[in-house]
Amino acid sequence: MPALSPTMTEGNLSKWLIKKGDTVKAGDLIAEIETDKATMEVEAVDEGVVLDLLFKEGEANIPVNKAIAIIGDPNEKVEVKKEAPVEKVIEEKKIEKNIETKFETKKDNIIDTPSPNIEEDTNLSSEEITMRQALRDTMAEEMRKDNKVFILGEEVAEYQGAYKVTQGLLQEFGKERVLDTPISEHGFTGLAVGAAFKGLRPILEFMTFNFSMQAIDQIINSAAKTLYMSGGQINCPIVFRGPNGAAAQVAAQHSQDFSSWYSQVPGLKVIAPSTPYNAKGLLRSAISDPNPVIFLENEILYGLKGPVNNDINFSIPIGKANIEKEGKDLTIVTYSIMLQKSKEAALRLKEEYNLDIEIIDLQTLRPLDTETILNSVKKTNRLITVEESWPFGSIGSEIANIVQRDAFDYLDSPVIKVNSADVPMPYALSLEKLYLPQVDDIINAAKKVSYIK
Amino acid sequence: MKKLQKADYIKMYSFMLKIRRFEERAAQLYGMGKIGGFCHLYIGQEAVVVGILMTIDKNDSVVTTYRDHGHMIARGLDPKRIMAELTGREDGYSAGKGGSMHMFSKENNFYGGHGIVGAQVPIGTGIAFTHKYNGEKNICRTYIGDGAMNNGQVFEAFNLAALWKLPVLYIIENNKYGMGTSVDRAAAGLDLYKRGEAFGIPGEKVDGMNVFAVIEAADKAGKYVREGNGPYILEVQTYRYRGHSMSDPAKYRTKEELDNYKQTDPIEIVKAEILKKKIATNDEIEKINKDTLEEIKKAAEFATNSPFPKDSELYTDVYL
């Protein structure tokens, strides 16, 4: 009795289409079987003579895998096993549920070197450049090194980039390697993913990450999963980059933060730079990485100036947080634009409450540098997370989970998350300010975990 | 058109038969609980992929839908390892992690096996982009089911392929039903091959039950694409004898309709041609039948004896 649907456990023999003594060939119809869903025809897969029909027409509730007929060579003696033991349909495998390995983020792909810190970098440029220029320079440097690297997106070529991040690239590398696409995210994202499967190294610019939702099936179902689904054969070396989160008064559809969305997906790496310095080091690692990388920039930070390391091989490893400021009283874990607000808050907390704040800039969101976070919490015993994401299931939510699990005994107060408001982004300037995390929100959270009234 | 040699006829017949026997055996293993999940059979459609195969260069790339077993066999891949993927074993082409719908062979330029309707179309277009970017003379054959022809990303891909003159041959396998919905209940305008017209992509309708018609059209279309003229669309009219997937009783169509198509069975057409042209005798055909049955039987044995993936494999291949 064949299983004719994933859920069928027994079937009824509606009709025999063969009789004893018939010769059947592979592909011939032999019976009609009534399943839990419908009546279906069954074909023979072997050749031979029908030696016996083991059930009569109309017999019901025959278990799946029970022999219903014997087809074979009449000259060979066949043992008729009508009551043959039913083979177990699904061979269950005992999987040892090892909590440590099942729920831990695997770290075997992380380079085990610490993040370079700007304070200790002896190779800093004397001039300060903008984040926009740092990103542009890094792309150009990598395109000079490897002609498999190319860039595509809306307005990246002739217009020089909607936010001027690709300025001058068309002039240097030509239209074969700097491609303006139509407003067609689903299509050109799939195209870029196909190109990466075939060995190119695309940098795909989303004019903003809000538009990546048009293409999210290709990012998750195709780019992130194919290495796994192909048993390790086909990797996807692609960088999806562009501004993420709120700009200024562009309202609900153009102000979303996608950091926790993409960080939820195994197969993706997610990076969120906060300064020109780390933007350079992290983008280089992203372009060199053999996996799909989501590179979340911030429009407001494009004009932020700072020194950089101009070595064309300078990189910051993916998966490493940076301790932006050391402190002993309280840890703030943050990333992207909220680093600036966290630093401002730390200054005021020192002045007004004499709190010595440690600030961790995550830099990479997936894989998350849990070690740096845990070590800091073990030292300060207090933690707040600061990010622009909506609160439900945010990066801070995951950090709170990890910290309560692995550093429970070190905590002197509950972890507090500072997020955007749990509503769509409003347009009005006054409401937009209320929506986003502000320095005062961070200060209030810090006071709360420090039990300061 | 490409002049067919005697060996070509035998090759076509053998491949089509191998696909059919493979799919029947897969159905049996599914019935025995050895194959799980979704399993989409190619029975009835064999002439499409085998016809295209006859015009293919080994460095050309292929990307297709989840109805992919026959496509892999036609690509010359090992039925043992295909079946082992269906049974979810470590010897499968995706080491047991992909299953029936997600199979790949990079060394054979076979890029899947995609489970999301329409998703393979931009991907195939991107593979074609790479051929052009690298200055290669190869093309990417991108198969599309009739159901995907109402999916937006397909038209985005058509636009990009025409805009950038990419070497991609789109092959619509119109088997008349997207799951249980017939084409005329899903598509406004039944000439799917004309859906590239607005982008300037030429298209053609082909009898997909007749492998000789497929070869003729594929040869012409392949040349057009390879010469750098941009994409081309073939709408190949075919029919699947089985339901959409294993659990589909196909109640949305009549038995007469199915029987009608079986009258023009693609394998029988080739067999008749071989006998008529005296390329092989009945006995020689019988030998191919017997050998094929034996090969597939061995594939099934291999696939049910191959070990399950190791537990540690759960965590590998997430990142490179």
For residue A63, give the chain B residue with the closest CA: B32
Q: What is the mean pLDDT of chain A?
A: 91
Q: How far is B169 from chain A (nearest CA, A)?
A: 15
The pTM assigned to this predicted structure is 0.91
Domain-wise residue ranges, chain B = 6-306
CB contact under 8 A, A191 and B125: yes
Q: Which residue type does B148 have? A: A
Q: Which of B106, B130, B157 sits opposite A233 (nearest CB)?
A: B106
CB contact under 8 A, A222 and B27: no
Question: Which residues, other chains included, contact B286 with Cβ-Cβ below 8 Å and sequence gap of 6+?
Answer: none
What DSSP designation does A182 have? -
Which of A86, A191, A200, A288 best tests the B interface by mutation, with the highest count of B CBs <10 A? A191
pLDDT of residue A316: 97
* High-pLDDT (> 90) share of chain B, %: 93
8 A C-beta contact, residue A239 and residue A293: yes
- In the predicted structure, residue A103 carries a pLDDT above the cut 50: no
8 A C-beta contact, residue A300 and residue A269: no
pLDDT of residue A99: 43
CB contact under 8 A, B116 and A221: yes
Q: Which residue has the higher pLDDT, B76 or A3?
A: B76
CATH 2.40.50.100 assigned to domain A1-93? The reply is yes
Q: Across residues A298-322, what is the average pLDDT?
A: 97
Q: Is B97 on the interface with A (CB under 8 A)?
A: yes
Lowest mean pLDDT among A88-97, A129-138, A207-216, A345-354: A88-97
Q: Which of B122, B130, B131 sits opposite A218 (nearest CB)?
A: B122
CA dihedral A243, A248, A253, A257 (to 10 degrees): 50
pLDDT in tens, A355-387: 999 999 999 999 999 999 999 999 999 999 999
| pLDDT band with cut points at 50, 70 and 90 for residue B269 | very high
DSSP string, B38-88: -----TT-HHHHHHHHTT--TTSEEEE-S--HHHHHHTT--HHHHHHHHTT
pLDDT of residue B233: 98
Instruction: Tell me the chain B residues in contact with residue A7 when contact means C-beta distances shorter than 8 Å.
Output: 247
3-class secondary structure, A18: coil
pLDDT of residue A94: 45
CB contact under 8 A, B129 and A195: yes
Q: Is B115 on the interface with A (CB under 8 A)?
A: yes
8 A C-beta contact, residue A324 and residue A282: no
pLDDT in tens, A30-51: 999 988 777 888 888 888 899 9
pLDDT of residue A98: 46
Task: Region of B77 please: left (phi>0), alpha (psi -120 to 50) or beta.
Answer: beta
Q: Give the right CATH number for A322-449 from 3.40.120.10, 3.40.50.920, 3.30.390.10, 3.40.50.720.
A: 3.40.50.920
pLDDT in tens, A149-175: 999 999 999 999 999 999 999 999 999
Q: Across residues A258-280, what is the average pLDDT?
A: 98
CATH topology of domain A125-306: Rossmann fold (3.40.50)
CB contact under 8 A, A3 and B157: no
Q: Is B141 on the interface with A (CB under 8 A)?
A: no
Choose the catalytic residue: A10, A155, A254, A371: A254
CB contact under 8 A, A188 and B315: no
Q: Which residue bears the tokens 């075939």? A: A198
Strands (E), A102-182: 129-130, 149-153, 178-180
Instruction: Tell me the chain B residues in contact with residue A95 when contact means C-beta distances shorter than 8 Å.
Output: 311
Q: Do domains A1-93 and A322-449 have the same CATH topology?
A: no
3-class secondary structure, B145: strand
- In the predicted structure, residue B104 carries a pLDDT above the cut 90: yes
- In the predicted structure, residue B21 carries a pLDDT above the cut 60: yes
Q: Is B86 on the interface with A (CB under 8 A)?
A: no
Q: How many other C-beta atoms can be found within 10 angstroms of the C-beta atom of residue A300?
A: 16
| C-alpha to C-alpha distances, B86 to A37, A141, B156, B300, nearest whole angstrom | 23, 45, 32, 10
Q: Provide the pairing of β-strand A322-325 with A364-366.
A: unpaired
- In the predicted structure, residue A193 carries a pLDDT above the cut 80: yes
**Omega of the bond leading into B122 within 30 degrees of 0 (cis):** no
| pLDDT band with cut points at 50, 70 and 90 for residue B54 | very high
pLDDT of residue A80: 57
| pLDDT band with cut points at 50, 70 and 90 for residue A91 | very low
Q: How far is B241 from chain A (nearest CA, A)?
A: 11
pLDDT of residue A109: 54
Domain-wise residue ranges, chain A = 1-93, 125-306, 322-449
What CATH superfamily classification does B6-306 receive? Thiamin diphosphate (ThDP)-binding fold, Pyr/PP domains (3.40.50.970)
- In the predicted structure, residue A315 carries a pLDDT above the cut 70: yes
Q: Is B209 on the interface with A (CB under 8 A)?
A: no
What DSSP designation does A220 have? I
DSSP string, B196-221: GGGGT--EEEEETT-HHHHHHHHHHH
CB contact under 8 A, B61 and A198: yes
pLDDT of residue A2: 87
- In the predicted structure, residue B8 carries a pLDDT above the cut 80: yes
- In the predicted structure, residue A77 carries a pLDDT above the cut 80: no
DSSP string, B247-273: T---TTS-HHHHHHHHTT-HHHHHHHH
pLDDT in tens, B150-178: 999 999 999 999 999 999 999 999 999 99
Q: Which of A90, A106, A221 sits opposite B318 (nearest CB)?
A: A106
The Cα B99–Cα B104 span in angstroms is 10
- In the predicted structure, residue A199 carries a pLDDT above the cut 70: yes
pLDDT of residue A36: 75
Strands (E), A274-392: 293-297, 305-306, 322-325, 330-334, 357-361, 364-366, 383-386
Task: Region of B165 please: left (phi>0), alpha (psi -120 to 50) or beta.
Answer: left
For residue B168, give the chain A residue with the closest CA: A191
Catalytic-residue membership of A185? yes
The Cα A419–Cα A435 span in angstroms is 9
